[in-house]
Structure 1
């Protein structure tokens, strides 16, 4: 057998707090790759409750790659949380009706920062908050309780509020090679055969595995 079944929501027997969340997503505007898991003893299968202000009329998406590890309490703020800031008041009068709908913003007036895109093999630590339109590169690490307000480069560790780069995980030339290898796109049989190379820090060994 080549690894756990990606279609099994709870792949660890007796440990339901870990869920391969692709199997539980109902919202078509949330796209999650194989083997990405959410760890939460309060109901990991209810991951969608952590995607906030995600209103269909806004049209934004949350896209999460493969093999991501998402800790308990991680939240994604989507574009529906934004209020117009060009006028004197940011209060959303128009949503309450009663004649106030006349103050509804025109199309394009609401702040929109685009889709939120999380790469592959990203580790997002406990209680982190990801803001609208952020793009997090492959292999990045988000430290616990970070507030991510801007894009995070591949294989970068960030932390704090707002999150700032702490360090690069590998030299720039190694990062380029890792992105070219993109082991997460290999067939699962190949991944299973080369786990030691994937989890070690030997780029030569991983390159050799990629060629096998």
Structure 2
């Protein structure tokens, strides 16, 4: 059974703008699943430049599942961008030292919204912005130039600023079955054998293939 090599950074011959970024990300706090690609004609290998304010001392992770399609210019804002809002000023005086370090907040007091988690088979459109701690469900679609400030349900389509739910891709009973099937976790040989069922939306045949 033939299938693309997930360890090949550029699976399309003579088309380097598409990159399986699992092979090029070096930050241990960015975890990328097999076959997830970033499409950027400028530098598709340097996906990490799109993960902003991702400071090691904060410790948050960006976790992206398998078979995700990420368009050019998608940005992920991480927890290091957050400022304290409990005082009268949000200005980060302490980072400039020279005596101002006396108001350095305790790390546990800093705003922290948790890891940013993108599910499997998610399509993120051109120049979308994902805010800290957002969870995007399997099979979701994020429209171009969306600003995602809250969680996206599995197989939901969201868009806008702030992004809101436009519609669910399928009825709830089908979504439940798709999440149970979780084809993205199959061995790649099995996925390859069942491509027609996956792309053809043949649920009954897909269930028989489990």
The answer to whether TM tops 0.5 is: yes
User: What's the CA shift for 1:106?
Assistant: 1.7
> For the aligned residues, what is the CA RMSD?
0.7
User: What's the CA shift for 1:124?
Assistant: 0.2
User: What's the CA shift for 1:209?
Assistant: 2.0
Distance, in Å, in 1 between the alignment partners of 2:66 and 2:186 is 11
Distance, in Å, in 2 between the alignment partners of 1:107 and 1:27 is 21
Distance, in Å, in 2 between the alignment partners of 1:2 and 1:190 is 11
Normalised to the residue count of structure 1, the TM-score between the two structures is 0.98
Structure 1 segments of 4+ aligned residues over 6 angstroms from their partners: none
User: What's the CA shift for 1:191?
Assistant: 0.5
Q: How does 1:7-156 map to 2 (within 5 A)?
A: 7-156=7-156
Unpaired segments ≥5 residues, structure 1: none
User: What's the CA shift for 1:203?
Assistant: 1.1
Distance, in Å, in 2 between the alignment partners of 1:196 and 1:88 is 59
Distance, in Å, in 1 between the alignment partners of 2:165 and 2:71 is 20
Distance, in Å, in 2 between the alignment partners of 1:201 and 1:24 is 32
The residue aligned with 2:159 is 159
Distance, in Å, in 1 between the alignment partners of 2:92 and 2:116 is 23
Distance, in Å, in 2 between the alignment partners of 1:5 and 1:98 is 53
Unpaired segments ≥5 residues, structure 2: none
Distance, in Å, in 2 between the alignment partners of 1:138 and 1:205 is 20
Contact persistence 1:55–1:80 (CA under 8 A): yes
Normalised to the residue count of structure 2, the TM-score between the two structures is 0.99
